[in-house]
Amino acid sequence: MIDVSAPPRPATAAPPRRRRGLDRRHVPVLVTLGLLIAMYATGVGNYENFSDTQVLLNVFVDNAFLLVVAVGMTFVILTGGIDLSVGAVVALTTVVAATLLDAGWPAIVVLPLVLLMGTVLGLGMGAVIHYFKVEPFIATLAGMFLARGLSLLINRNSIPITDPFWTAMAQERIRFAPGVFISTSVVIALVAVLIGAFVLAYTRFGRTVYAIGGNADSALLMGLPVGRTRIAVYTVSGFCSSLGGVLLSFYMLSGYSLHAQGMELDAIAAVVIGGVLLTGGSGYLFGTVLGVLVLGLIQTIITFQGTLSSWWTKIVIGILLFAFIVLQRLVTRRAR
């Protein structure tokens, strides 16, 4: 018999409650932050004076140029691309700037000229990638050989920079207390990070960058400017590389064709360790900053140790890269 007094059952079951938890996209960034804190705590616990504020600020001072280059690399990798030319463009920027300044050109002309040069190189590589359907690896590899070859053609020797503006920028310090300071290059690098983070988070261009990295075909079907955006991200990377070259010339006060060898690999490592997926579509500029700090802190710890070869920096970075790539695979696999 049917119990007519029982309340009727709903025709459809209530939808399951959505679990509120940690966003998987934040996991790599949080792991990087935890690693950075653990490394700093290890340094403080094992080395005298490691806790000095200036030791931490020196990580920013010594890596300001890498941070700017990594900002441009973040844009590229978020679209699923790669830029192998950044180190060579940095070197070319220092050589061209030093050569022109040595010839008597005013800094007010040299500075925008070298920034424009890097931007145009990035624009050219982006155009080749888009219009000729060339793989980013091949196009930027060609750009790397071109930029490095041009710098060697201009001058194979180190060119000292004595221009008053360049030396003033190199020696200027923003002081917070006696013995506690940052350089103007750090300020420029942080401004670049803030602008890049704003563009990625709050502009249509930034949303398109993420969409292309997630699925370029879907982004194209949605009517997004895929081609224009791809060209733009390599243009941004070229500009950041030339700006990084300017900051490196402030730091070294010289132009040299062999500057920044391997910097493209350091930039990629910083971006990946910072939690940006190599396949694109996920990551944050804040993570890239953490990645650069991790690389800088590794160098600082090895310097404080005093008995280890500088090659241990590369070994540790290699181990971290393997670990973070595996972490990315685990996170993306669970997300599916």
Q: Are the beta carbons of 248 and 97 closer than 8 angstroms?
A: no
Q: How many helices, marked H, and strands, marked E, lie in the chain?
A: 13, 4
**Half-sphere exposure at residue 278, Cβ-oriented, CA atoms within 13 angstroms:** 15
pLDDT, residue 25, reads 74
Q: Are the beta carbons of 90 and 264 closer than 8 angstroms?
A: no
CATH tag for 25-38+53-330 (out of 1.20.1060, 2.40.420, 2.60.40, 1.10.3470)? 1.10.3470
Nearest one of 253, 257, 258, 290 to 271, comparing CA atoms = 290
**Spans of the chain below 50 pLDDT:** 1-18
Q: Are the beta carbons of 86 and 241 closer than 8 angstroms?
A: yes
* Residues in contact with 148: Cβ distance below 8 Å, sequence separation at least 6, in sequence order: 88, 91, 92, 257
Query: 133 is written with which tokens?
Result: 């359907």
**Model confidence over 280-298: pLDDT tens digits?**
998 999 999 999 999 999 9
pLDDT, residue 15, reads 46
* Cα dihedral value 102, 92, 285, 206, nearest 10: 110
Sign of the C-alpha dihedral computed for residues 21, 27, 30 and 31 taken in this order: positive
**Model confidence over 239-278: pLDDT tens digits?**
999 999 999 999 999 999 999 999 999 999 999 999 999 8
Using the structure block, give the residue that is written with the tokens 């685990």.
Answer: 330
Domain boundaries, the chain: 25-38+53-330
**Model confidence over 150-163: pLDDT tens digits?**
999 999 999 999 99
pLDDT, residue 329, reads 80
Query: 233 is written with which tokens?
Result: 């991200």
